[in-house]
Every structure is written in structure tokens, then in C-alpha cells.
Amino acid sequence: DGGITQSPKYLFRKEGQNVTLSCEQNLNHDAMYWYRQDPGQGLRLIYYSQIVNDFQKGDIAEGYSVSREKKESFPLTVTSAQKNPTAFYLCASSVLGTGGREQYFGPGTRLTVT
């Protein structure tokens, strides 16, 4: 089955530690995205990538970093510089080009930092 996987589902870290969230897709999509979701908020874009070895900052990139070494993978690192890292993180992917290309989402990772 084609889809997006995120691991782990729940992640716990101590304050001051960097942590990397995994996102893998086998949909052959060019574009991948990372969103953050907080209670009572919609999703906010952290980073996105349209091609291997290239990515752009979204609306709330501070304290986060990404890499795109393979088309299928787009890991997100939450660094110790992120002031409020506890949140639900969603990865998504889409095709590129014209047309209403919806984004397909993974199941998410709940990160708790104490």
C-alpha cells in the first residue's frame, strides 16, 4: 500500500536535547512538508521541500532543521533552540505541477519535551 509513515507515534525528550522525527513516503511524490499542530490551532507550516537536496522555510522554521537526501525521506530535527517543542507534528506529501494537488498526510508524531 502507498502512503506516508511517521515514526515514532509518541516521542519523549528532555529539554535541551535535539530530536529527529522520521517521515517516509512511497507515493513517488516530489514535494514533502512538515506541519506543527497545537491545541486550538490549525496546522502551521515548518519546512517544505520540492526536490531532493532543496528545501525552504515555512512560517515557523525557527528552532527546526530538515534534510532531503532521498525523494522518499524528509526527516525533521527539533533542536534545543525551539522554545516550545511539545506539539503534534504532521508530515505530508504531494505531486507538483498545476492543478489542485492535495496534500496527503502521515499519521503524525506526538512530541513531548519536559
Binding site for other proteins (CB under 8 A): 31, 33, 40-45, 48, 50, 56, 58, 88, 90, 92, 94, 96-98, 100-105, 107-108
Query: Least separation, in Å, of the C-beta of 45 and other proteins?
Result: 6
At closest approach, how far in Å is the CB of 40 from other proteins? Answer: 6
The least distance separating other proteins from the CB of residue 76, rounded to whole angstroms, comes to: 16
CB of 100 to other proteins, least distance (A): 4
Nearer to other proteins, 15 or 54 (CB): 54
In contact, 23 and 106? CB cutoff 8 Å: yes
Instruction: Dump the DSSP string for 83-103.
Output: S---EEEEEEEE--SSS--PP
The CA-atom distances, in angstroms, between 45 and each of 16, 50, 64, 98 are: 23, 14, 11, 21
For residues 80 and 95, which CB has a smaller minimum distance to other proteins in the complex?
A: 95
